[in-house]
A and B are shown apart, each in its own frame.
Chain A
């Protein structure tokens, strides 16, 4: 048997965390056949994760597929989370959700099992649900960055509230070209609609205000 990514101790903790799930969550994993250094690792990771989590399943698709088009995915590896009703809430992971971001994926899975229940404040929710424009939030991270999960979680929770908002975690080392294009050299580095940019794990209200600047 190939070496496992998740050791016994981590698996035990995953079981505990996923014990908080309500409904079932499906993950759509998008891969490509060529030039994808990390696709296999994500396949292994999701295999192991769905083995441990009874209520988590995943489906593998190629980025040339119709499904990929439907979800507007054009790079790999990418993960899209679906609620128990099969709804896409704009939550994306590009690259391996490893390091500190593995916890982010688990948190998102639990939120999605409750119908993509967003954890942000009522006041912020009002501001976000009122947005009537397509918003794309990119959060560039590295797996070793302790401040990054906060930024990703905040972005994802914002996306959960409004169907016009997409929020992606992007592993900067794996998506070098995109990182270079956006001049990323410190993380978390957040880009909203290619018009608003900031570096750092802002508190929720401040993050929401940055999103509003892009409207």
Chain B
């Protein structure tokens, strides 16, 4: 299936020195905030380093966003970006490398440009957590991957491991099941933690087996990964798993390094906010996966976007 996506060409390169609201990250949270900003009569700029939709682009199917019983993550991303652009939201393609708090907040981009805004909304999401075991770095990009949609096709008819048993692990495993010959899911807990519906579907593929209570201890190979050393966490027993590749989905880390602790973070690097999603610094908000909270879903990211923007609009623009 060939598809032709124009979104990366729809971004703006000429933006102004000043906006009402600068939104870092164009995932569901950032996009929602930008739409609410326009509706509040404010001018937002969205700064996105990859593609609008963020991690949704890596999601095979989204089935819990009301209005669509099932939609691909890429399609939902495109629809959200189009929605924002129909509201004349400017989206620019850049990575924010630094911010300067103050009455006007400055954001500094990787292309050397900068812009200022009265209100800053951080919606930078998170990125896949590494295993942190010997061999991982060596074989990262040489058999170990963190993105099924990106790299799945390199493992056509091969045997791969999926490390993790949560929603993102099984969603990506379901995508990979269309490509690979066999999947071994390695889960550290006694059960899978993904939604029951997803569990049922992955079992129905008939090419998946499961190893529970087990963690990866080491990645081994020559030029490329060829085996994982596993350890049973209950018995401490070690075993070897011969694989051509390993996809790691054991959780996420927040994208907050660029903030250099200029806003308050918790011990895991997530941004601490109040109920209105405002950080310890006035006029700087954090929404979506990057924020310290219980539930990280597309709908809750979108909800955060609305909450933050409506609060900001009331407090800083009236």
Contact = CB atoms under 8 A, between A and B. Distances in A.
A121 B94 CA distance: 11
Interface residues of A, number: 49
A150 B4 contact: no
B140 interface: yes
Interface residues of B, number: 42
Given A17-B10, A100-B51, A145 B150 contact: yes
Contacts, number: 133
Contact of A185 (B4, B50, B141): B141
A207 to B, nearest CB: 9
B203 to A, nearest CB: 25
B138 interface: no
B5 A99 contact: yes
A150 B2 CA distance: 20
A13 interface: yes
Contacts of B150: 142, 144-148, 186-187
Contact of B149 (A121, A146, A184): A146
B13 A10 contact: no
Contacts of B142: 183, 185-186
B82 to A, nearest CB: 9
B154 A107 contact: no
Interface string B62-94: 000000000000100000000000000000010
Contact of B10 (A5, A103, A203): A103
A14 interface: yes
Interface stretch (B108-116, B118-126, B228-236): B108-116
Contacts of A143: 2-3
Contacts of A6: 4
B111 A121 contact: yes
A102 B145 contact: no
Contact of B58 (A96, A122, A124, A146): A146
B258 to A, nearest CB: 10
Interface string B1-17: 01111111110010000
Interface string A118-139: 0111111000000000000000
A46 interface: no
Given A99-B3, A187-B150, A204-B111, A146 B57 contact: yes
A107 B9 contact: yes
A173 interface: yes
Nearest to A110: B9
B49 interface: yes
Interface string B180-199: 00000000000000000000
B5 A103 contact: yes
A147 B150 CA distance: 8
Given A185-B142, A185-B145, A172 B154 contact: yes
A141 B45 CA distance: 29
Chain A CB within 10 A, most for which of B53, B95, B143:
B95
Contacts of A110: 9
B224 A185 contact: yes
A143 B53 CA distance: 16
Nearest to A117: B13
Contacts of B143: 185
A100 B7 contact: yes
Interface string A1-35: 00001100010011011000000000000000000
B4 A99 contact: yes
Given A17-B10, A123-B112, A145 B149 contact: yes
Given A41-B2, A146-B58, A147-B150, 6 more contacts: A99-B3, A144-B149, A146-B51, A179-B154, A183-B224, A203-B110
Interface of A: 5-6, 10, 13-14, 16-17, 41, 45, 96, 98-100, 102-104, 106-107, 110, 119-124, 142-150, 153, 172-173, 179, 183-187, 189, 199, 201, 203-205
